[in-house]
Amino acid sequence: MKRPLIGIPAQTLQAIDGIPEGLPHSWAMNARYYTAIANSGGAPVMIPLLTKEPEALREIYDRLDGILLAGGVDMDPCTFGEDPHPELGRTDPARDTVEVQLAQWSVADGKPILGLCRGHQVLNVALGGTLWQDIGTQVTGALKHDYFPTAGYAREYLAHDVVLAPGSRILAAFDRPTIRVNSMHHQAVKTLAANLVATGRSPDDLIEAFEGQADSEQFLVGVQWHPEVFERTDAPTKRLFAAFVEAARTGRG
């Protein structure tokens, strides 16, 4: 059986924390996203950040069966009409441009799309939503969400619960109403895009998962955590990736 092609956009290497400026321009991405798709029956491909070649980007997109938007640095607040907050981290404008465009094309065409952490935020912004730029200073009573590896936390650290909505795709994958997730973000969904439905919330009521409207057949899922970390070891996480890949294989949600 032919494997569906799943496109995963790259990030600009120099946008990653700890990578010095001044290096030759390069694109890169964490291998775990690609191996999670391959392990689930898909054929992952890296999408270059072709901001100056929109026709070439569209040609790549048209050949793909699904899009995965991965984790990474902060979204530039200009993408949702705000000025930068003092706690805004590093940004990757080229990646913002490409990922927002891919998300909009995917939703218009009904092509399966999965957003993880930053990708969850990109999907929301691409469809008209907004973000908190820094949870710790902008959300009263918020939990700690920024358990970053750069601060010494393991990527596998389970930080808090998420309550899943009945009837959701995410509940179908995890098969239990409350799950424990890792957490490596300081931005989060503020205003949810009108055509999305919140399907997972943390104890401080931040949106940790969303999906397309119930009457939509498209596989459109965003989660605020990093499931690719657990894809090899956790059966429910495997089901999430498998459901996405199967939707890409069949062309249905």
Q: Which residues are catalytic?
A: 117, 226, 228
C-alpha to C-alpha distances, 20 to 17, 23, 251, nearest whole angstrom: 8, 7, 41
Structural element, H or E, at residue 240: helix 235-250
Structural element, H or E, at residue 12: strand 11-12
Burial class (CB within 10 angstroms; exposed 0-12, middle 13-18, buried 19+) of 185:
buried
Question: Residue type for 246, please?
Answer: E
> Residue 196 CB: number of other CB atoms within 10 A?
23
Burial class (CB within 10 angstroms; exposed 0-12, middle 13-18, buried 19+) of 58:
middle
Residues with Cβ within 8 Å of 73's Cβ and at least 6 positions away in sequence, in order, are 11, 15, 16, 17, 89, 90, 91, 92, 95, 118
The answer to whether 89 touches 137, Cβ cutoff 8 Å, is: no
The angle subtended at Cα 252 by Cα 236 and Cα 104, nearest 5°, is 95
Q: Select from 169, 149, 165 the least CA-distant residue to 157.
A: 149
